[in-house]
Amino acid sequence: MNAKVNNLDPVIFERQGVRLTRSQVEAFGREIEALRDEVMNDLGERDARYIRRLVKTQKSLELAGRGLLFLGVLPPAWLAGTTLLSVSKILENMEIGHNVMHGQWDWLNDPDLDSSTYDWDNTCPAEQWKHSHNYMHHTFTNVVGKDRDVGYGILRLSEDQRWNPLYLAQPAYNWVLAALFQWGVAFHDLEYEKLLKGEKSWAEYRVQRRKIMKKVRQQVLKDYLLFPALAGPFFPLVFAGNLSANLTRNLWAYLIIFCGHFTEHAEMFTERDIENESRGQWYLRQLLGSSNLEGGPLFHIMSGNLSHQIEHHLFPDMPSNRYREVAPRVREIAGRYGLHYNTGRLGRQFGTVLKRINRMALPDRLSRRLGRRANSAPV
Q: What is the pLDDT of residues 121-152, one digit of tens each?
A: 999 999 989 989 999 999 999 999 899 889 88
Say if 218 falls within a structural domain.
yes
Say if 55 falls within a structural domain.
yes
- Answer whether residue 279 shows pLDDT above 80: yes
Say if 337 falls within a structural domain.
yes
- Answer whether residue 2 shows pLDDT above 80: no
Distance CA 194, CA 249 (A): 30
Say if 1 falls within a structural domain.
no
| pLDDT tens string 294-347 | 999 999 999 999 999 999 999 999 999 999 999 999 999 999 999 999 999 999
- Answer whether residue 225 shows pLDDT above 70: yes
Residue 109 belongs to domain spanning: 12-371
Residue 69 has a CB neighbour count (10 Å cut-off) of: 28
Looking from the CA of 373 toward its CB, the CA atoms found within 13 Å total 4
Closest listed residue to residue 251, CA positions, set 175, 356, 302: 175
Closest listed residue to residue 98, CA positions, set 49, 140, 132, 47: 132
pLDDT at 378: 41
> How far from the centroid of its chain's Cα atoms is residue 287's Cα?
14
pLDDT at 194: 76
Distance CA 180, CA 327 (A): 31
Cβ atoms of 244 and 228 within 8 Å: the answer is no
3-state secondary structure the chain: CHHHHHHHCCEEEEECCEEEEHHHHHHHHHHHHHHHHHHHCCCCHHHHHHHHHHHHHHHHHHHHHHHHHCCCCCHHHHHHHHHHHHHHHHHHHHHHHHHHCCCCCHHHCCHHHCCCCCCCCCCCCHHHHHHHHHHHHHHCCCECCCCCCCHHHCCCCCCCCCCCHHHHHHHHHHHHHHHCHHHHHHHHHHCHHHHHHCCCCHHHHHHHHHHHHHHHHHHHHHHHHHHHHHCHHHHHHHHHHHHHHHHHHHHHHHHHHHHHHCCCCCCCECHHHHCCCCHHHHHHHHHHCCCEEECCHHHHHHCCCHHHHHHHHHCCCCCHHHHHHHHHHHHHHHHHCCCCCCEEEHHHHHHHHHHHHHHHCCCHHHHHHHHCCCCCCCC
- Answer whether residue 356 shows pLDDT above 70: yes
pLDDT tier for residue 379 given thresholds of 50, 70 and 90? very low
pLDDT tier for residue 118 given thresholds of 50, 70 and 90? very high
pLDDT at 235: 95
Share of the chain above pLDDT 70, in %: 96
pLDDT tier for residue 5 given thresholds of 50, 70 and 90? very low
Angle between helices 75-90 and 45-69 (to 10 degrees): 150
Closest listed residue to residue 339, CA positions, set 109, 17, 94: 17
Say if 7 falls within a structural domain.
no
- Answer whether residue 4 shows pLDDT above 70: no
- Answer whether residue 178 shows pLDDT above 50: yes
| pLDDT tens string 32-88 | 999 999 999 999 999 999 999 999 999 999 999 999 999 988 889 999 999 999 999
174 or 15, greater pLDDT: 174
pLDDT tier for residue 371 given thresholds of 50, 70 and 90? low
- Answer whether residue 116 shows pLDDT above 70: yes
Strands 18-21 and 11-15: antiparallel
Residue 103 has a CB neighbour count (10 Å cut-off) of: 17
pLDDT at 336: 96
- Look up the pTM and report it: 0.92
Q: Report how far apart the first and last C-alpha atoms of the chain are (Å, whole number).
A: 30
pLDDT at 27: 96
> How far from the centroid of its chain's Cα atoms is residue 208's Cα?
22
223 or 200, greater pLDDT: 223
The neighbouring-strand residues paired with 292 are: 343
Say if 377 falls within a structural domain.
no
Distance CA 374, CA 7 (A): 33
Say if 356 falls within a structural domain.
yes
The domain total for the chain is 1
Say if 6 falls within a structural domain.
no
